[in-house]
Amino acid sequence: MVIQALAFYLFAALAVASGVMVISSRNPVHSVLFLILAFFNSAGLFVLIGAEFLAMILVVVYVGAVAVLFLFVVMMLDINFAELREGFLQYLPIGALIGLILAAELILIFGTWVVAPDAGQTLTAPILPPDQLTNTHALGQIIYTEYIYLFQASGLILLIAMIGAIVLTLRHRPGVRRQKIADQVSRRREDVVEVRDVTTGSGA
């Protein structure tokens, strides 16, 4: 029990410290690396509570795909962060408003825990007995029955994020020839094919 408590405080402290370094690091590449460290520590916390499937998904999907994608996007965009910091005060009111909304949501969540501490247990009751229900089975049963619409909405959000990353990295450079499918399909045979009558012995 003592080892589990020490592991929890170690993983939690490293996860919080990594999260702080993600938003405070001046180098964007270092921010992505600290984000990967935060994912690993969060996976350790999932293992401590018995959610080994979520821990594996966090490492495989987020560290192996999303975080690496962030790193490649940051390196490909070559953003001038000095110019972005110049307009910091301009967006400060919007950032403060978003921070207040998030703080109000956190207060409501903690208030729910105080008012109704047993409310979370009503959503975690499995249909099958606990000894016959694996972690992966229980997670799939909840996601694809109770939260199927929210699951589909999260898929749409990830699709929009992927399209946004493609749009940001797509650059139109002058002088570069690009393929235009509509022009190729709509052209006529007479415009691209020329038939000539070549006499024998005169060559092509």
Q: Say if residues 43 and 55 touch (Cβ distance below 8 Å).
A: yes
**Is the domain 1-89 a CATH 1.20.120.1200 member?**
yes
**Over the stretch 65-86, which tens digit does the pLDDT of each residue have?**
777 777 777 766 666 666 666 6
**Over the stretch 119-140, which tens digit does the pLDDT of each residue have?**
555 555 555 555 667 777 877 8
**Over the stretch 21-35, which tens digit does the pLDDT of each residue have?**
988 887 777 888 888
pLDDT band at 156 (very low <50, low <70, confident <90, very high): very high
Identify the pLDDT of residue 4.
83
Number of other residues whose CB lies within 10 A of the CB of residue 14: 17
Tokens for 137, please give them.
Answer: 């089975």
Class of residue 55 by CB neighbours under 10 A (exposed 0-12, middle 13-18, buried 19+) = buried
Tokens for 29, please give them.
Answer: 């590449």
Mean pLDDT, rounded, of the chain: 79
**Over the stretch 81-96, which tens digit does the pLDDT of each residue have?**
666 666 667 777 888 8
Which of the residue ranges 53-57, 126-130, 138-142, 157-161 has the most confident prediction, judged by mean pLDDT?
157-161
Residues 6+ positions from 168 with CB-CB distance below 8 Å: 73, 77
Closest CA to 63 of 32, 107, 97: 32
Average pLDDT value for residue range 93-100: 87
CA 117 – CA 110 distance, rounded (Å): 10
pLDDT band at 107 (very low <50, low <70, confident <90, very high): confident
Identify the pLDDT of residue 16.
92
Half-sphere exposure of 162 (CA within 13 A, CB side): 8
CA 164 – CA 3 distance, rounded (Å): 44
Q: Is the pLDDT of residue 60 over 70?
A: yes
* SS percent in the chain: helix, strand, coil, step 5: 75, 0, 25
3-state secondary structure of 126: coil
Report domain extents, the chain. 1-89, 110-172
